[in-house]
Structure 1
């Protein structure tokens, strides 16, 4: 799943300085390590999840208490920042400021890859409700707007690919395709023909953007 969603956008330079915000138990860092990247750093506010990381990535991990302060202390330090399942924890009134701080932590020409759950889905409210930490939901339009408002050049906004067992793939793909058609029809009936109606109906949205340089 990481390879399908993140692999196409990773820098060619294996010595690039990469930061994983909200790294948790280090799954993304382990993936990057296996790809040959060595200049890695992962940060998280929860020391308990950091303790679950595999031994070979623990040297990359750092516990922080204040993301904003960390980013201000590390301006223009990273070539790549990954924010997987992180942005929706920022309160709406702080989201743009946090994104500007993330942008400032990138070197000129540096790239961010961000992933959020899709607010356009009919079950998005449940996703938000089951985690009391979630503050803001994003659609493809609002995620793009957030990145652009922070001064970033958005290159890609697309649906993330889910990993499915081999035997399930054809059945799941067919059922998912039919359901997307139904969802688009619901939006059409409720909102009419509207350019803001969602085109991405995947479970998660992936965005790739660069700091101008």
Structure 2
């Protein structure tokens, strides 16, 4: 029998077992074979870079849990030069290297931060990462992130949004997910860790053609209805974040 089909040994971390088979398990579609296969995700990544990365193209940027490197590729195409990415999945890193995405290597995420010099990064990105952590690990990551960022540096986070009525599709769409967040819960963690400010935004459709523009219009209509439903239940007319994922930007004090 193929050894990859064996269940985890007693005491083995189930998440680590899955990370080692993240691509070959087939849970996330076909692996890209060239950079053209990443085209469907590029508008989303390009928008994130343009909205949240600093203007300085020489900024020091670490993508922690970079997967196949699609965000790094988008940043490279936007002119950023000092980029590197680390991922714990050998399969994901192999894809990034096969696609020719520079600066990607395999490594332990906490080990990478432990080796980083204090006040050395302008931007830390964790895109679809913190939901894989336990609460204890998240608090540790937040403290490590605060240490390695320069004063005024940004931690950019993309994670499942528990405020969305459809968050379960993301929260339970990956066996290795442990957490989901609201803007309140994530903001509280980040401020408790010492970040000066935390801003959260919806991960809404990004218009880059007719279909995506129509999706954005429909999304705005739907979110208005969702806001109305919440107001009927609670009497609270305050706006919310209703997309299945949210984006957060935490800034280190200057």
What TM-score, normalized by structure 1, do the two folds share? Answer: 0.87
Secondary structure in 2 aligned to 1:71?
A: helix
Shift of 1:143: 1.9
Shift of 1:166: 2.4
In the alignment, the residues of structure 1 paired with residue 179 and residue 198 of structure 2 have an alpha-carbon distance, to the nearest angstrom, of: 23
Which residue is equivalent to 2:240?
Answer: 199
In the alignment, the residues of structure 2 paired with residue 178 and residue 13 of structure 1 have an alpha-carbon distance, to the nearest angstrom, of: 36
Bigger shift: residues 200-209 or 155-164: 155-164
In the alignment, the residues of structure 1 paired with residue 81 and residue 114 of structure 2 have an alpha-carbon distance, to the nearest angstrom, of: 23
Shift of 1:141: 1.4
Note the alpha carbon deviations across 1:14-63, whole angstroms, 9 max, x for none: 222110011111111111111222211100000101111154423x0121
| Higher Cα radius of gyration | 2
In the alignment, the residues of structure 1 paired with residue 204 and residue 169 of structure 2 have an alpha-carbon distance, to the nearest angstrom, of: 21
Task: Report how many residues are paired.
Answer: 209
**Contact persistence 1:71–1:102 (CA under 8 A):** yes
What TM-score, normalized by structure 2, do the two folds share? Answer: 0.74
Which residue is equivalent to 2:113?
Answer: 71
| Selected match of 1:27 from 70, 73, 79 | 70
Note the alpha carbon deviations across 1:77-115, whole angstroms, 9 max, x for none: 311111111111111233222211122121222211111
Secondary structure in 2 aligned to 1:112?
A: strand
Secondary structure in 1 aligned to 2:176?
A: coil
Bigger shift: residues 72-81 or 35-44: 72-81
For the structure 1 residues 110 and 174, does the alpha-carbon distance in structure 2 shift closer, same or farther, using more than 3 Å as the test? Answer: closer
Alignment of 1:43-62 (within 5 A): 43-53=86-96, 55-58=99-102, 60-62=103-105
Residue ranges of structure 1 left out of the alignment (5+ in a row): none
**RMSD of the TM alignment (CA)?**
2.2
In the alignment, the residues of structure 2 paired with residue 11 and residue 100 of structure 1 have an alpha-carbon distance, to the nearest angstrom, of: 22
Bigger RCO of structures 1 and 2 (CA < 8 A, at least 6 apart): 1
Which residue is equivalent to 2:183?
Answer: 140
**Contact persistence 2:187–2:198 (CA under 8 A):** no
In the alignment, the residues of structure 1 paired with residue 159 and residue 84 of structure 2 have an alpha-carbon distance, to the nearest angstrom, of: 21
